[in-house]
Amino acid sequence: MTTGWVIHLLTISILLFVLCVQSFQSLEVIYAINSGGEAHTDSYGIRYAKDPLMGKVGTASDYGKQLIIGRINAIDQILYQTERYHHSTFGYDIPISEDGEYVIILKFCEVYFNSPNMKVFDVVLNGDHTVVTDLDIFERVGRGIAHDEYIPFKVQGGKLIYNDEESDILAGKIRVEFIKGYRDNPKINAIAVIKGNIEDIPQLGPIPQEPEEYQNIQEDEEESTVRSRHTSGPRTPDPYSIDDSSMDFMKKYGYLEHGTADSDALYKESAITDAIKNVQKFGNIPVTGKLDNATLELMASPRCGVTDVLRKTEDQQRKKRYIISSEGWRKQDITYYVAIWLPTLGAQPVVDEIKRSSTTWSLYSKLNFKPTDTPNANIIVASGRGQLKECLKLNKVSQEYRTF
């Protein structure tokens, strides 16, 4: 390609960018915030305010500063490098005072996970409209790549209209919420609300595609860059190293003692590490003592609310509600026998409940649970009171006590 053609193409690119900026500047920006970060003006001239939830809800993180975000220019990097996440559902209130057509732009970037199905959540608008379902940022674009969701809606006569569905606007504000699901915490990097049509709003370019042979080289260079950036200042804290939801999980299921709501800082590092190791042993995954992807996925799996580890009671050896052996079952077809049931319930309701529960267990354990009429079963189910030392020993393979 000649120098003249290069200059010609560069000129066209600059003209297109200027036209996009002019188009965007002709639109009315109703609301714009940089979640988890400070105020910033982007390449289109939109002024994003400092996150209004600072110090109020959730956790602000700039962990993404370790990455060069793909699909966007240098000026807009910070909008995808900072974020706010929370271990529960959270959201923002957006003032809307006039009727008209609007578009809400939700900016996301996965800066931590390296595989899909690790962080999945929904986005709900005005309490009634699910505008994004099962958002898995990594699955959509990968790690370190910008991703925008464009949500057009209409305001008319005090009502919000989305896909022909209406909801009331209260106190002149609409709310966008990020819904906690089973897979990690919901998050948002930045939000902008524009008055206008979606056709008038410049959108992100195509997702960059790199040859497979260069991916490993880039990952090595990225790791080297991360290490070199830490030498000039304090290390950016890893927001997933021990986040609120992980602490809540370990307290809820008995791996850490309960304390006051603000007592997380009182746990010794060794106690937290031991708790993580116990979670990993219980889940039969590699024991690393760190919140790696396998552990986070285990913590995010659907489960019942029974604690895994009981606190010391009258029997000091009573440490676990039930134990999953590292060796596990050596066969897939597991039989169970209901030996003792509560008189107030009767035998059949207990059998029906165990059957329903075992169906759920089968989905996640890949085991087939079958009832039997003989005590010569793999699992004996009994209801009663007492200490674990009174329980029946089950399954000679694992040589563990198990109660249900």
Q: Last residue of some domain: 325, 357, 374?
A: 325
Confidence of residue 325 (pLDDT cuts 50, 70, 90): very low
Q: How many residues does the chain have?
A: 404
Same domain, 34 and 86: yes
| Nearest of 59, 63, 37, 61 to residue 50 by alpha carbon | 37
Same domain, 259 and 374: no
Residue 137: inside a domain:
yes
Distance between CA atoms of 108 and 144, rounded to whole angstroms? 10
Distance between CA atoms of 153 and 101, rounded to whole angstroms? 6
Same domain, 347 and 387: yes
How many separate domains does the chain show?
A: 3
Q: How high is the pLDDT of residue 6?
A: 42
Beta bridge partners of 190: 34, 107
Q: Read off the pLDDT of each residue in 378-384 and give the average, rounded to a whole number.
A: 71
CATH of the domain at 167: 2.60.120.430
Sign of CA dihedral 355, 359, 361, 367: positive
Same domain, 371 and 265: no
Name the more confident of 399 and 274. Answer: 274
Q: How far apart are the first and last CA of the chain?
A: 73
Same domain, 162 and 103: yes
> What angle (nearest 5°) sits at the alpha carbon of residue 244, between those of residues 241 and 246?
65
Q: Which residue has the tokens 């966008």?
A: 176
Confidence of residue 259 (pLDDT cuts 50, 70, 90): low
Confidence of residue 238 (pLDDT cuts 50, 70, 90): low
- pLDDT averaged over the chain? 76
Q: Read off the pLDDT of each residue in 215-235 and give the average, rounded to a whole number.
A: 47
Same domain, 248 and 347: no
Residue 82: inside a domain:
yes
Same domain, 313 and 340: no
With 0-12 / 13-18 / 19 or more C-beta atoms within 10 angstroms meaning exposed / middle / buried, residue 318 is middle
Query: 381 φ, ψ to 5°?
Result: -100, 125
Range of the structural domain that residue 355 is part of? 333-394
Same domain, 118 and 175: yes
Residue 268: inside a domain:
yes
Q: Which residue has the tokens 């986040």?
A: 243
Same domain, 162 and 52: yes
Distance between CA atoms of 88 and 185, rounded to whole angstroms? 7
Same domain, 207 and 110: yes
Q: Enter the pTM of the model.
A: 0.54
Q: Read off the pLDDT of each residue in 277-301 and give the average, rounded to a whole number.
A: 83
CB atoms under 10 Å from CB of 135, counted, come to 22
Given a cut of 80, whether residue 72 has pLDDT beyond it is yes
Helix (H) or strand (E) holding 340: strand 333-340
Instruction: Give the CA distances from residue 347 to residues 339, 380, 381, 385, in Å, rounded to whole numbers and listed in that order.
Output: 9, 14, 11, 17
Q: How high is the pLDDT of residue 266?
A: 53
Same domain, 125 and 256: no
User: Which of 161-170, 297-306, 332-341, 367-376 has the largest mean confidence?
Assistant: 161-170
Q: Read off the pLDDT of each residue in 32-55 and give the average, rounded to a whole number.
A: 95
The pLDDT tens digits of the residues spanning 85-98 come to: 999 999 999 999 89
| Nearest of 304, 297, 264, 302 to residue 279 by alpha carbon | 297
Residue 404: inside a domain:
no
Q: How high is the pLDDT of residue 272?
A: 82
Q: How high is the pLDDT of residue 134?
A: 95
Same domain, 87 and 196: yes
Confidence of residue 24 (pLDDT cuts 50, 70, 90): low
Residue 18: inside a domain:
no
